[in-house]
């Protein structure tokens, strides 16, 4: 793992939260992107080397809707950048961590991603992400 690539924050409404985070971080949202596979609308901010990813559900029964229902808005996951997602997935699986997807899947912001089950990580949902070269 190289660094914290981004922190994912579950929000009810991007219309409300984008202006809020623009004020908080004093920078503009640089990208909005729908991720159909996760049923989310995302919005990105860049601060130094780290990004903030706001996540808004686009489905009533989507993962972010369910998360907000249970825990309210707030930090949803921490994403670490990896150079080789396949070998990192293998390493973590061998260490006893449970991967939520068997193969890397397309995520927002031109990434391949894999999530680890929070039951093995002190309740923290961890995302591995690797930049896809174009
Ligand atoms: Zn993420």
Ligand 1 centroid, distance to 53 Cα (angstroms): 6
- Name the E strands within 1-107: 3-11, 31-35, 40-47, 50-57, 74-81, 105-107
Ligand 1 centroid, distance to 118 Cα (angstroms): 14
Ligand 1 centroid, distance to 94 Cα (angstroms): 23
User: What confidence tier does 133 reach under pLDDT thresholds 50, 70, 90?
Assistant: confident
Answer yes or no: is pLDDT of 114 > 90: yes
Total-model pTM: 0.93
Is 1 in contact with 83 (CB distance < 8 Å)?
A: no
At 50-64, the pLDDT tens digits run 999 999 999 999 999
User: What confidence tier does 37 reach under pLDDT thresholds 50, 70, 90?
Assistant: confident
């Amino acid at each position: 793992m190289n660094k914290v690539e981004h922190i994912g924050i579950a929000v009810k409404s991007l219309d409300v939260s984008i202006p809020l985070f623009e004020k908080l971080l004093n920078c503009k949202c640089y990208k909005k992107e729908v991720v159909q596979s996760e049923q989310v609308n995302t919005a990105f901010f860049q601060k130094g080397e780290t990004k903030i990813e706001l996540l808004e559900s686009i489905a009533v029964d989507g993962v972010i809707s369910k998360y907000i229902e249970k825990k309210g808005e707030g930090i949803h996951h921490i994403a670490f950048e990896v150079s080789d997602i396949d070998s990192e997935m293998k390493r973590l699986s061998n260490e006893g961590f449970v991967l939520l997807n068997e193969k890397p899947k397309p995520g927002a912001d031109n990434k391949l991603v894999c999530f680890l089950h929070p039951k093995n990580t002190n309740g923290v949902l961890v995302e591995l992400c690797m930049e896809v070269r174009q």
